[in-house]
Structure 1
């Protein structure tokens, strides 16, 4: 894998993991029973802990990227190994 492929894979995996991690541990004003002041959405999080979530996202992404990299370099994960994605390989079988 080239460095460009690794960077692109990291970016894609990072964003997917971020959107999966964002809802964890969210406590809203409504959940806490706090009446929000004017201009604040009752469903907005009290303490979003974005720093912790960004660190967790990066760690999870590095683990998943490592698995993806090993699968690519060792030949376990190729287009031809996924049925239906490579029409030329599918027709030969």
Structure 2
């Protein structure tokens, strides 16, 4: 695999990880014990720390991408292994 392909796959994992990480560690104003701003939704986060979230996302994305690359290199899990309908029968794995 070329390094540009690996980098593109990493960015896909990073974008996916944003949606996975965002809900964790969020406190509403009520949970933080602070009064809400007029018009603020009850579920709105009290404080948004983009740097902290970016670090968490990068850690999760790096772990997932590393597992993907190791699987790509060593072929631990192939499409034939997880195909319940037999659609990959007769198709060779080129890994």
TM-score range, shorter chain: 0.7 to 0.9
In the alignment, is residue 50 of structure 1 matched against residue 50 of structure 2? Answer: yes
2:79–2:88 Cα contact (<8 Å) kept: no
Which stretch of structure 1 is more off in the superposition, 76-85 or 11-20? 76-85
Cα separation, partners in 2 of 1:86 and 1:4, compared to 1, 3 Å:
farther
SS of match in other structure, 1:45: coil
Q: Which structure features the higher share of helix residues?
A: 1
Unaligned runs of 5+ residues in structure 2 are none
Q: Which stretches of structure 1, 4 residues or longer, exceed 6 Å deviation after superposition? A: none
Under a length normalisation based on structure 2, what TM-score does the superposition of the two structures give?
A: 0.72
Task: Tell me the matched-pair count.
Answer: 91
Aligned-residue offset at 1:39: 3.4
Q: Does 1:25 align with 2:30?
A: no
Aligned twin of 1:72: 72
Task: Tell me the residue number matched to 2:36.
Answer: 36
Structure 1 gaps of 5+ residues are none
Using the size of structure 1 for normalisation, the TM-score is: 0.73
